[in-house]
Chain A
Amino acid sequence: MSIEAVAAVRPADRAGRPMDAFRSNKLAALGLLLLASIMALAALAPLISWHDPAIQDVVHKLGRPSLSHIFGTDEFGRDIWARTIFGARVSLMIGFASTALAVLIGSCIGILAGWYGGRLDTFVMQVMDVLLAFPSLILGMIVVAMLGPSVSNIVLAIALTSIPPFARIARAPTIAIKSRDFVDACRSFGFSTPRILLGHVLPNIVAEILVMAALWLANAIRTEASLAFVGLGLKPPIATWGGMIREGFDNILDNPWLALVPGTAVLVVIFALNLLGDGLRDAVDPRLKDAT
């Protein structure tokens, strides 16, 4: 009753406008800005860097930061800055592709399991539980080790590890929405199941899935770096952040920037995505919005 009374006073706030809440969240805006700058650097990499990331220059190997190589060179004399921004392309591309794949497959599985329920639901979610039981890095390593370290295989491996959380995040609200009257109303109009699922269930859960996607994108980028670090990344001389950290690790005491620069890049991207995800969640979830 009291909630209704307050709602009557400020009717516009009741459902809220997620984008307004998002705009007023400064940390989320910072996250978005960071992510956008890194994406811009990755996209414009050939224009920004005057070194080719793959060209070796053994004379200038392990060079300290200088005007010509602002972050120095690695043990083959390659420019660290060039390798970092070209590495961003690989990391972001694998991250986005694998998360997109996981969102697509995971949401479909979750929505269908939640909608049909019963044995299908039990079976599918048990499979998801088994997948979840493996640490994602181990699962990724198994897949890459079996299929070989190509871009598509790494995307596949990371996607496989992120399907279960998306299935779960899609399933729970689907079950809640299934019992809402408007779904019964849709059925009473004779709508087909695909129409109800795509036209009425999906739009109501897409926000929650997107929030999850932002947070899992960070996870995917970290998993890619971890795979590269344990040697299951793309083959050299392609620059990847995880691979650079691995190579730099051998000289970490004498030339710390070798590992620190790509390490910082990973950190910044994950930090930005977490800020963004938290901001999105606050914007989407009215309960959290009121609390802040």
Chain B
Amino acid sequence: MIRKVLFWLVTLSVLLVVAGPLLWIFLTAYKAANDIFTTELSKIVVFTPTLENFHRLFTAYPFWKNLGNTAIVSVISTIVVMIVSLPAAYSFSRWNTGGGHLLFVTISTRMFPGVVAAIPFFIVFRSLHLLDTHAALILLYTYFNTSFATFLLYGFFREVPKELEQAAMIDGYGRMQTFRRVVFPLILPGLAVTSVFCLIWSWNEFFYAFLFTRRFATTVNVLISSFWGSIEVQYGPMAAGAAIAILPTLLAALLMQRYIIRGLTFGAVKG
């Protein structure tokens, strides 16, 4: 009995610590400025809700445009990543191409400190007039997601039994046909999981977006960060923007529960 009480005491306090701050974003989004900047403890939850913050966010700032930028960049880069990493992962898992060394090189790109790529690309993009464009961000996100996607897909491909492919080949399927009709349908769930992960990484990315965009291709994270200025901090619009921007990722987290750990560990832990 005591153990049970203790169990729930710990569990509930952990949940409070985890979910409380996230809930706070959604509460603050509906607060007027004098309810945000207050020292009354009860005002954290008890206040008159207002849509003022959302109104200001939508009218005074290019919120939807920036959210659109984030979506465009995330989706296109994810598609490119899949085109590159799907065949590569198949090759690695089926033939162990390059004897493991190539796979190591591939995964190490993900480990590169962001700044190593940032310096050269900043200079190259500047001379190509690619700074502050969608293309620049798409290229960079493709760069940091490809190795991750290749490795995750590699794990999924390894789960497809080789015997299936051999049977298909004996039935007279060519290499391409075997891939299209036998392997591809089996890998679809893995492909979906990998894509969602790439979308989330791109959606959440800040460092490159902050360095490589100024006005035109700014992502929503950069907009949110700009509310924390050196002169004044606008918590209302910031919370409103964050509340909308984190919704897709929260939703993905709930829907993909089973796969999150697998994704975060590059497929090493099945979860």
Do A and B truly interact?
A: no
Q: Which residues of B contact A (CB under 8 A)?
A: none
